[in-house]
Amino acid sequence: MRTRFVVAAAAVVFLLAACGGDQSDDPKGGGESDPMTSIEEGLKQIDSGRIQVAIRAISPDVRPVSFEMSGTFAAADDPDSLPIADLKYVDRSGVKPSESSFISDGERAWVVNERGTKELEGDQLDGLKGGSDVPGLRTLEPTTWFEGAPKAAPGEKLDGVTTTSYSGIVDVVALIEDVTRMSANLGAYVADEITDEGAERVRNAAQNASLEVVAGKDDHLLRTVRFGVDIPTDPKDLAVILRELAANRIEFELSVSEINQPVTPPKTPEGAAV
């Protein structure tokens, strides 16, 4: 039986993990001419925007694991202030959707769920101060996603920005590891790092993998990721490796818009102490 996403605490767990600072300045793989290197470096430059994330693990005759996050975010102005966030989390894995929110106005922060509104205090609040990566974009490692150089093609215009679309042979394990990392940060009970033996089993089972990465043509800022892979084996065979994501199809969609535009702090949530 699948363990459902722990959405009630996801916002706090995720943000405490994500606000610790940037990743290493040394990107993985590729050289200066590798577009994924520029895109990965560009993740450090996304300080505000609107994000949508959907993660799905689908098998016939089994209720799908499905998680979504959406909303606006902005990095903290200084080490002593809080990030701005108005993020909604929806777990669609159960009989009915389970919703929660993380709200921060830059001075106070709350988690809102079916049990009510809880203001963060003490260590939880201190752990959010100076947060620069509220939605966890900097946990992603685009330089690992393709085997070899991806093909580039003109992309659609997004937010008035001309984009480039990249596609190619997918490193399924690397992509799933990134999806798994984001899933874990968002409250899913999933495996940690895939071992070499586990990676070989996943690669042997994977079929029809597709990936499109869309980024600004000139600014190289990530706008869209669309990933899907079929794994036509019994999900139980890979349950130890993929945990919640063990399924006959895994899908991941990410979009970032209104990048580095001003974000209006959200209002104090209903039910919060004045």
Model confidence band, residue 33 (pLDDT cutoffs 50, 70, 90): low
Q: Where are the domains of the chain?
A: 7-257
Q: Tell me, what's the pLDDT at 132? A: 86
Model confidence band, residue 16 (pLDDT cutoffs 50, 70, 90): very low
Q: Which residues does 30 contact at the CB level (< 8 Å), separation at least 6?
A: 36, 37, 143
Sheet of 151-154: strands edge to edge? 116-119, 109-113, 98-105, 84-91, 62-74, 48-59, 249-257, 222-230, 207-216, 163-167, 151-154
Name beta bridge partners: 100: 89
Residue 157 CB neighbour total at 10 angstroms: 10
pTM, rounded to two decimals: 0.86
Q: Which has the closest alpha carbon to 128: 223, 15, 21, 250?
A: 15
Find where tokens 């945990």 sit: 243
Cα separation, 176 vs 223, in Å, equals 19
Q: Which residues does 251 contact at the CB level (< 8 Å), separation at least 6?
A: 54, 55, 56, 58, 227, 228
Assigned CATH topology for domain 7-257: outer membrane lipoprotein receptor (LolB), chain A (2.50.20)
CA gyration radius, the chain: 19
Q: Tell me, what's the pLDDT at 108? A: 95
**What is the rounded average pLDDT of the residues 76-97?**
90
Cα separation, 199 vs 217, in Å, equals 33
Does the pLDDT value for residue 3 go beyond 60? no
Q: Which has the closest alpha carbon to 214: 144, 156, 136, 149?
A: 156
Does the pLDDT value for residue 2 go beyond 80? no
* 103: helix, strand or coil: strand
Concatenate the DSSP letters of all residues of 232-270 into one string.
-S-GGGGHHHHGGG-SSEEEEEEEEESTT---PPPPPPT
Does the pLDDT value for residue 8 go beyond 50? no
61: left (phi over 0), alpha (psi -120 to 50) or beta: left
Q: Tell me, what's the pLDDT at 188? A: 57
**What is the rounded average pLDDT of the residues 113-129?**
92
Q: Which residues does 169 contact at the CB level (< 8 Å), separation at least 6?
A: 146, 147, 148
